[in-house]
Chains A and B, each alone.
Chain A
């Protein structure tokens, strides 16, 4: 213990980083490719192979490219650029299907390699959180360490911090941008050129990693205007910060353009309002088309599920409930306390507002969104909340606050160890844990297609030669050697929802494996949801992970 105390502060992170690395690698090797991963990987690989970012409409290319880099450099992956889908505007679904499941590629290897950079990005997020924590709460022993530990072991962040998706990466680069802006606005006098350039790069990386980070642009404007940086409010100081932000924002566009490979082509807008611009050529038209597309998607929405109800337009309470049932309890318990204590104290108020305000506003904005498909969309605010709670550590005179932080960190680490390797399905104890999770939320909150390899192992261990499978996931069960009879699924065998291949009133005997998400029959309207009613009324015989229920019908 003494040896640990004598270590330089940053070195204390090392065991945490190693533990995270082990947990991440150990768990991700057993997770089949989740629903969106193949599309992200396909975009990244195609961009690396051709320099053409036209597939990066829904997601900017930074994280996808990072993910694809080891696959592109280290393997002999076959990229099906001869497939017609490569020429389509939104051909990535077909292209990704061909890349992963129809080209004979070694899927296990390329998915593992594609996930590795995300693991490192998550580690980077924890390091930025550590550095930010030290900058925000310089007096607090262990505050930074606490923030880093939470960013590493929050089961939700750990879950997505191992997948080839943009959620963890977006949160990481957004945290970096927020930290660099904080440093910029803390810089004294006129010597801020270096900080300004760094902030521009940080913002550029954030905007190149996920479109939803653009939501923070107006929030940063608000933070620039407010007197949160140690001095009383003066309009000149506020104007200077706004000017800096504008300059950094302008610079960030250069970074985004660089990430898009300095694309220069004709604009490609689809909405009648903007189509007139398509006669012009300009920089990164895919980015601008992506901004347009993501706005359409967010306003349109997809089928969402909340506590037994489905909606095409989303639920206003989706994210509040998701936050309550999916967040680790220490976050829920300590957040109000931290907000209350740190906002009350004048010396910490500015920093608390800097963290809390964008998180709160982002949360409110999320509640307006019709795209209610996962807690992961709240990730951008989570680092800010953990940093806020870490502020309790600054109160060195208060033993209980340090104790609370210590207990919280241990509790979060304990949650991660207990749920290992099923991080994606994490639900807190108050919500009943992952066993009850499927009743509250589905999709990427519990069942994103991660358990196919475990299903194959379960079938082998139980001597089952064949299974009737209703699969929620893009991975191909045949690739994993699963001999199955298809039941209605998403996206595979989608047509069977309207052409059900069994007697839904009395399913014939056999072994049924049904994804939790499919039990709710997401493609069907409420009145039509009778396909799996027989199964919903019964307890499963067994469970694979927390996302596939097994019914042994005799």
Chain B
């Protein structure tokens, strides 16, 4: 559509540019969603658990899970899980939608409050920079906070009650928002200071009028809305574990030690050009938010806002920035990209303000020929955005996800196991891990979007030979990461090839072994069933050195999660000379018919008498109660060991 009307043409061009920015933002947030970040972080898996709980009717103003979670983001995620299922997409798309809304809302806000050009620059910054992109790609709740704060900025002068609602809701979005109710309060102080400053000198005509009533309304509505959260946290202080974990610098300050908070504040203030988040969780460590060139525009914008501090809009901006920096400035590991998230819209608004001002001045003062100013502006902006986009691409999409530290944070091995699993999904699956955590089990399930019915074992300590269903084609495969390989003793005894049939290329990598059908026990014993749950089938004594024992068990029915085997080596006189307790197959993932081989390391003291008897039994760790069988003694089996 063309139009002879210049303003309409201008508007259409702006709309086109804004649409392109949104599309670029959407593409950078959506594409390769499974690969960047390269797997699911434990927090993402945990968030999906909370959403699952909400769907089952467990509602709360504050969730205890994950050391305490504000609920709003999780409620936003519910329809995604309902429609898409419980998988990576439904975990990450809620953040994507919020990230996209953030760009659109920030552009609309900046267009109204600063100008069209500033809206495009700010929107472009949000669309192409790694910080906002990352928080729109991971299924974590912080991205909701900046969106609500743009809502506050949009409404604060015209509809203060709506601004109050946004601010109140921000408290339900992320812990770092807790400093923000101070914003309207400090704004009242600011108004008083501003009034005093006017008394000393003549007010600038640009300073504009400012009323105190909206700030009061915002504060009132926000506090009212925050009341249930406040009551909840007061009622059960143990809910808010995370806030306590991060209170180190503040505690030191209270004890009179300024050093920690000085360090964190200095690091936080440098985040724009000099310092960076020291952790690998969200970006390459120690990378400032801006490259040196863009940082100049940021500081230019900050200077401009400081110079115009008497204008209420900039007064509001400065207070907002200060309060949004606060959570990072008073907590450890500063600067923290996640705790700074409330500043995100402003961080990109300030360079936009400076650029808008530069161009407006050029227009007014005609320092650049009017004919070449628009193309020059377009080229300049395109280069600036390209610079940021290029930095994002190299640091965020190329280096960060492939770094071993990032891969460990996001459990890339689990993700890559899920990819490999598709090659033979029918085979029964055994997964090894260095320390089986239920969250890893959930992570594999969510990476696949379905439950592969995997049997999990502590790598190197146990093997499971699954009860093979007809659909498995008689095959069972063991997937184990390089840091938790199967014990050679177990593979050897099972007559399985020590060489895997597949090894992945990643770092850390994983390998796949084919498990043979359940081999017979080396030293078969008369089966003894403990409490109808687990049957002892046999054992293999490997005298060493060092001496090891492998015991073999069959699962008869669901096992308690904290079940443990005790293996005691006794001497001729019945004295205990070595022992091992453990059950390194993850009991909740076992099914009736599965056979478990448990490896027991039994280091004997050098001066120990020769082993004579093996005492084996089962107990639950929670109450230390032993499981019994029908023989005598009822709580254990005694086996005489052959002399080496």
Contacts and interface: CB of A to CB of B under 8 A. Distances in A.
B85 A74 contact: no
Contacts of B423: 78
Interface in A355-396: none
A109 B85 contact: yes
Given A76-B88, A103-B425, A29 B30 contact: no
B621 interface: no
B30 A73 contact: yes
B30 A75 contact: no
B426 interface: yes
Interface string A5-25: 000000000000000000001
A104 B89 contact: no
Nearest to A103: B422
B90 to A, nearest CB: 8
A105 interface: yes
A101 B87 CA distance: 18
B403 interface: no
A104 B452 contact: yes
Given A73-B30, A74-B33, A75-B34, A106 B82 contact: no
A25 B83 contact: yes
A298 interface: no
A478 B469 CA distance: 13
A73 B83 CA distance: 18
Contact of B449 (A25, A106, A478): A106
A103 B452 CA distance: 11
Contacts of B422: 78, 103-105
Contacts of B447: 76
B425 A106 contact: no
Contact of B426 (A76, A102, A105, A109): A102
A106 B31 contact: no
A106 B452 contact: no
B340 to A, nearest CB: 29
A73 B29 CA distance: 12
Contacts of A103: 422, 425
Q: Which of B83, B447, B448 has the most CB of A within 10 A?
A: B83
Interface residues of A, number: 17
A112 interface: yes
A76 B452 contact: no
A108 interface: yes
A104 B450 CA distance: 8
Interface string B92-121: 000000000000000000000000000000
Contact of A106 (B83, B419, B448): B448
Contacts of A478: 471
A29 B83 contact: yes
A112 B87 CA distance: 13
B425 A104 contact: yes
A106 B450 contact: yes
Given A75-B34, A104-B450, A106-B450, A112 B83 contact: yes
Given A104-B421, A106-B449, A73 B31 contact: yes
Contacts of B418: 76
Nearest to B82: A29
Nearest to A78: B422
Nearest to A75: B89
Interface string B21-46: 00000000011011000000000000
A105 B452 CA distance: 11
Contacts of B31: 73
Interface in A70-92: 73-76, 78
Which of B34, B82, B84 is the most central at the interface, judged by chain A CB atoms within 10 Å of its CB?
A: B84
Interface string B441-456: 0000001111010000
Contacts of B33: 74
Contacts of B85: 106, 108-109, 112
Contacts of A29: 82-83
B419 A76 contact: yes
Candidate in A76, A108, A109 with the most chain B CB atoms within 10 angstroms:
A76
A103 B450 CA distance: 12
Nearest to A478: B471
Interface string A103-124: 1111011001100000000000
Interface string B221-265: 000000000000000000000000000000000000000000000
Most buried by B among A102, A106, A112, A478: A106
A127 to B, nearest CB: 16
Contacts of A102: 425-426
A106 B87 contact: yes
A551 B425 CA distance: 34
B91 to A, nearest CB: 12
A109 B452 contact: no
A109 B87 contact: yes
B318 to A, nearest CB: 39
Interface centre among B30, B33, B450, by most chain A C-beta atoms within 10 angstroms, is B450
A164 to B, nearest CB: 16
B51 to A, nearest CB: 15
A335 to B, nearest CB: 35
A154 B82 CA distance: 26
A102 B426 CA distance: 8
B87, B421, B449, most chain A CB atoms within 10 A: B449
B246 to A, nearest CB: 34
Given A29-B82, A75-B88, A108-B85, 10 more contacts: A75-B449, A76-B88, A78-B419, A103-B425, A104-B421, A104-B452, A105-B422, A108-B449, A109-B89, A112-B85
Pairs of residues from A and B, 6 with the lowest C-beta to C-beta distance, nearest first: A106-B449, A104-B425, A78-B422, A76-B34, A104-B422, A108-B85
28 contacts: A25-B83, A29-B83, A73-B30, A74-B89, A75-B34, A75-B88, A75-B89, A75-B449, A76-B34, A76-B88, A76-B447, A78-B422, A78-B423, A102-B425, A104-B421, A104-B422, A104-B448, A104-B450, A104-B452, A106-B85, A106-B87, A106-B449, A106-B450, A108-B85, A109-B90, A109-B449, A112-B85, A478-B471
